[in-house]
Structure 1
Amino acid sequence: MNGLRVAVLSFAHEHAASYISLLHDRTDVELLTADPDFATAPADELRGRGFAARHGAAYVETYEEALAWGPDAVVICAENARHRDLVLAAAEVGAHVLCEKPLATRVEDAEAMVAACDAAGVVLMTAYPVRFSPEFATLRALVESGALGVVLGGTGTNNGKLPAGRSWFTDPELSGGGALADHVVHVADLLDALLGEEAVAVRAVTNRIVHGDDPRVRAETGGLVSITYAGGAEVTVDCSWSVPDGAPTWGGLTLQVVGTGGVVEIDPFGAHVGGVVAGGAEQAWLGLGENLDALMLEHFLGCVRTGSTPGPDGRAGLRSLRVVAAAQESVAAGGAVVRLTPSSAR
């Protein structure tokens, strides 16, 4: 098997550490990293060459050097507002792209990214690891087999801790929003894959009750989003950064689907061994099950090798971003219902 050259561009996203570790351990991948934007991050956030050294990864000082290396593929972990420029630069040199979510901070930027990768003939995949969980695969099989009958609606949750160690998450200029932008896209992507149809109406409300006294947090920390799909299904998504800092795990995602033939709920991050350690002073949480980042990377690299279309491709990332953009428009309009027009073909 020929080795693939893979470059990780930016360490801004928390998942960069996981991707680098997984790629570094593969015998079929040659890895290079770059994070020149570390200079714009707070001094107490480990970025740049120091971060690469901690994870044993080869490092260059600029994105231009990384792309001149001739990568077969890149993994983009930059701040959300910087995704567009890096995707377009990667497409220009013919590199396939796995881009962190949300795909962009503006719908028009995501559209440009999809168009650029189409024109270059390269894969564009959006990083939605929950798509690859065995729990979701089971749910999807039940829906596709007709076992749940007609899907009437459901409830999704994605609640976590306030992102620590990466302050840009709470800066709307770099992130595109707070908990709504960070968490709704994951659930919206699962629904997109499950229903095979687009959202046609969105209503949302948000607040900053949690962490409201922290001047560093300039984005919403909680929200409730109602989504209507073309086939009539109604789904509510609860998103927040409400998990306490001292909790034993980062948070979790659940999805309950209600159909005419039954109800199924999945909790992909719920399987664990828990307890109390250190004389009762600390809670323990040992997650069980598959490494979803590893499953996602395996799928992406397979698509790079074969040229096949990835599961959550760029268009899937665009559709989930359109849901978030509509939710933000609804919030700005005091919770009004926002209608969506159909996007490009699936």
Structure 2
Amino acid sequence: MPTEPAPVKVAVMSFAHVHAAGYVEVLKRAPGVELLSSDPGPHAADGELRGRELADRLGVGHVDTYEELLAWGPDAVVITSETSRHRELVERATAAGAHVLCEKPLATTREDALAIAAAVQRAGTVFMMAFPVRFSSSFARLRAAHDGGGLGEVFSVRGSNNGMLPTSRSWFTDPELAGGGALTDHVVHIADLLEALRGCAPASVTAVTNRVLHADRARAETAGLVTVTYTDGVVAAIDCSWSQPDTAPTWGGLKLSVAGTGGTVDVDFFGPSVRGLDGRTGRPIQLPYGADTDEAVLATFLDAVRTGSQPQPDLAVGMRTLDIVLAAQESAATGRTVTLAGV
């Protein structure tokens, strides 16, 4: 008979990120998981559902402080805070001996990223980045085509990650809390896919950004184009924006086009969906279907917690994808190409 998985106590630190609620729903269904959350205030005063009120709606236990949460003795924590607070929460979680799954991007500064790396090294705990798109079945098929030589020699990549302005969590548009805007939010996903697909280091980054869209609501860039040249000469162009209108039927999407001497593969990672119209309002409806990538991320993390193995994407991936973002920000500010030496 199959054995029950070893029990794991998982703490969710903060409900700031839009993925927090989805992770809670997955963890509630996961066998052998005890779950507790904390989301201390103060929170934004613009109607965002946070704290105990959100915990009650999600049906998850809640404590008022991180001290109480860590005193519970979690085996693992899921950090879904504002990006600028990742360092503090990783340091507190690892000091308590907990394994960490951290939302992307890793940090808002290189200094904070290095401090996170030092905290993880001191503790000797498992650390994993939450990059769900690399767990999709579409990416698995792309990877199989690439690894099997079906694309020949890859020479260029085009990626786009376009979404709605994230008004349900206003901190995403605050450069202090998020570290930037659409560039920070969206480039790391495609950078992670290229890391997983090709395993090649970035050599230089050139970027331009603007705030033409949503200028009255956003405090950071809302659109950008980032060009990454890798050490083997492959060039990747990444379109990142909050360009979906508020009336769009879905939050947005992520697409990748990989060109090689043997052919080109185009992937729409969120394309499979049922489309229709709302009979009451006449507005379009788009309901995606397919495997739950959040579920795959959390299953991988929980397995690593139980076995002590190091899952992917790891801390090094978080560091390298952040370096691309930081270089893109510098390039956009200076108008120059930024070289990444020894990343």
Q: 2:96 matched to 1:88?
A: no
Distance 2:195 2:118 in 1: 20
The question of whether the paired residues in 1 share the 8 Å contact of 2:211 and 2:221 is answered with yes
Deviation at 1:279, TM superposition (A): 5.2
Q: Secondary structure at the match of 1:241?
A: strand
- Show the counterpart of 1:222: 223
- Show the counterpart of 1:18: 22
Distance 2:242 2:63 in 1: 34
Distance 2:154 2:69 in 1: 46
Distance 1:35 1:307 in 2: 28
Deviation at 1:261, TM superposition (A): 1.2
Call closer, same or farther: CA 1:59–1:232 in 2, change over 3 Å.
Answer: same
Deviation at 1:277, TM superposition (A): 2.3
Q: Secondary structure at the match of 2:276?
A: strand
Distance 2:279 2:328 in 1: 44
- Show the counterpart of 2:206: 203
Alignment of 1:1-346 (within 5 A): 1-36=5-40, 38-214=41-217, 217-278=218-279, 281-334=282-335, 336-343=336-343
The question of whether the paired residues in 2 share the 8 Å contact of 1:223 and 1:238 is answered with yes
Q: Secondary structure at the match of 1:242?
A: strand
The question of whether the paired residues in 1 share the 8 Å contact of 2:6 and 2:306 is answered with no
What TM-score does the superposition give when structure 1 sets the normalisation length? 0.96
Distance 1:50 1:279 in 2: 30
Q: Secondary structure at the match of 1:146?
A: coil
Call closer, same or farther: CA 1:196–1:278 in 2, change over 3 Å.
Answer: same
Q: Which runs of 5+ in 2 are unaligned?
A: none
Q: Secondary structure at the match of 2:157?
A: strand
The question of whether the paired residues in 2 share the 8 Å contact of 1:114 and 1:124 is answered with no
The question of whether the paired residues in 1 share the 8 Å contact of 2:43 and 2:50 is answered with no
The CA RMSD over aligned residues, in Å, is 1.1
Distance 2:146 2:114 in 1: 30
Distance 1:119 1:150 in 2: 41
Deviation at 1:288, TM superposition (A): 1.1
The question of whether the paired residues in 2 share the 8 Å contact of 1:88 and 1:116 is answered with yes
- Aligned residue identity for 1:47: R
Percent identical across equivalent pairs?
56
Deviation at 1:83, TM superposition (A): 0.3
The question of whether the paired residues in 2 share the 8 Å contact of 1:156 and 1:238 is answered with yes
Distance 2:272 2:129 in 1: 25
Deviation at 1:43, TM superposition (A): 5.0
Q: Secondary structure at the match of 2:243?
A: coil
Q: Which runs of 5+ in 1 are unaligned?
A: none
Q: In terms of mean alpha carbon deviation, does 247-256 or 105-114 score higher?
A: 105-114
Distance 1:63 1:279 in 2: 44
- The count of aligned residue pairs is 339
